[in-house]
């Protein structure tokens, strides 16, 4: 069944009008007709089944047939803060795959060794939305504007905080330290890694140093590995 992203839908509504972009996709691209059934997600946990009342390329009208709240809600909250890579396509790859696996929030952090200090959230949000629809996720990850590492470290976070880095210092694994069914914030540095000063600043702000294995990973691979590990460890208690 075809899936559409409708973040402005009212859960109490009996009908819904697709916006022009989604209407065009519905009527022109997919060529769906009156009576066809489809699904809607609002990005906040709502999954809806609807049928087409009027298939129009600019304003397709739907009848809501049923709805489900908190569809496939996960038992934890994962926020990954990643330094954007010089090649923005690698960031897009991470966003796509992390959304498919399961992630709640992404921040872009600007570090001393960052080769890229700006991103275009509009474009990246489209990548995330496409991955949400592809993987049938009812929750749309939050994508934050770029912020300096120091500023992010100062923000309060109610949960476990980790920093993954390559320095040869004392580190632990997620498996040995992660408390299941919790909230997590994981920092992933730029291609040149965090500086020692940045690592110390993170530790002073309550972050715990972790290792993601013995291999030296690319930035986006390390972020995806952290995403996978957190989700896997929490699935063990479902």
Say if residue 45 is exposed, middle or buried (CB neighbours under 10 Å; 0-12, 13-18, 19+): middle
pTM of the model: 0.92
pLDDT in tens, the chain (238 residues): 899 999 999 999 999 999 999 999 999 999 999 999 999 999 999 999 999 999 999 999 999 999 999 999 999 999 999 999 999 999 999 999 999 999 999 999 999 999 998 898 889 999 999 999 999 999 999 999 999 999 999 999 999 999 999 888 899 999 999 999 999 999 999 999 999 999 999 999 999 999 998 888 999 999 999 999 999 999 977 6
Q: Do residues 184 and 162 touch, judged by C-beta distance below 8 A?
A: yes
Query: Whats the size of the chain, residue-wise?
Result: 238
Whole-angstrom distance, CA of residue 96 vs CA of residue 73: 19
Whole-angstrom distance, CA of residue 99 vs CA of residue 94: 8
Structural Rg of the chain based on CA atoms = 20
Sign of CA dihedral 113, 209, 180, 216: positive
Pairing of strands 37-41, 47-54: antiparallel
Helix H or strand E encompassing 74: none
Structure tokens at 4: 């559409």
């Amino acid at each position: 069944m075809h899936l559409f992203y409708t973040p402005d839908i009212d859960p109490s509504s009996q009908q819904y009008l697709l916006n022009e972009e989604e209407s065009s996709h519905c009527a022109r691209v997919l060529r769906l007709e009156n009576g066809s059934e489809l699904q809607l997600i609002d990005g906040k946990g709502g999954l809806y089944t609807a049928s087409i009342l009027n298939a129009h390329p600019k304003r397709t009208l739907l009848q809501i047939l049923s709805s489900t709240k908190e569809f496939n809600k996960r038992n934890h909250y994962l926020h990954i803060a990643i330094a954007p890579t010089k090649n923005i396509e690698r960031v897009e790859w991470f966003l796509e795959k992390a959304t498919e696996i399961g992630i709640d929030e992404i921040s872009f952090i600007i570090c001393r060794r960052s080769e890229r200090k700006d991103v275009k959230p509009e474009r990246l949000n489209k990548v995330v939305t496409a991955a949400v629809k592809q993987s049938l996720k009812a929750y749309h990850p939050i994508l934050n504007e770029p912020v300096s590492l120091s500023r992010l470290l100062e923000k309060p976070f109610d949960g476990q905080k980790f920093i993954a880095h390559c320095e040869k210092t004392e580190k632990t694994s997620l498996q040995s330290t992660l408390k299941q069914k919790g909230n997590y914030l994981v920092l992933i540095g730029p291609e040149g890694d965090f500086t020692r000063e940045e690592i110390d600043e993170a530790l002073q702000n309550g972050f715990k140093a972790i290792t993601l294995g013995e291999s030296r990973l690319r930035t986006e691979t390390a972020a995806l590995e952290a995403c996978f590990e957190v989700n896997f460890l929490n699935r063990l208690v479902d």
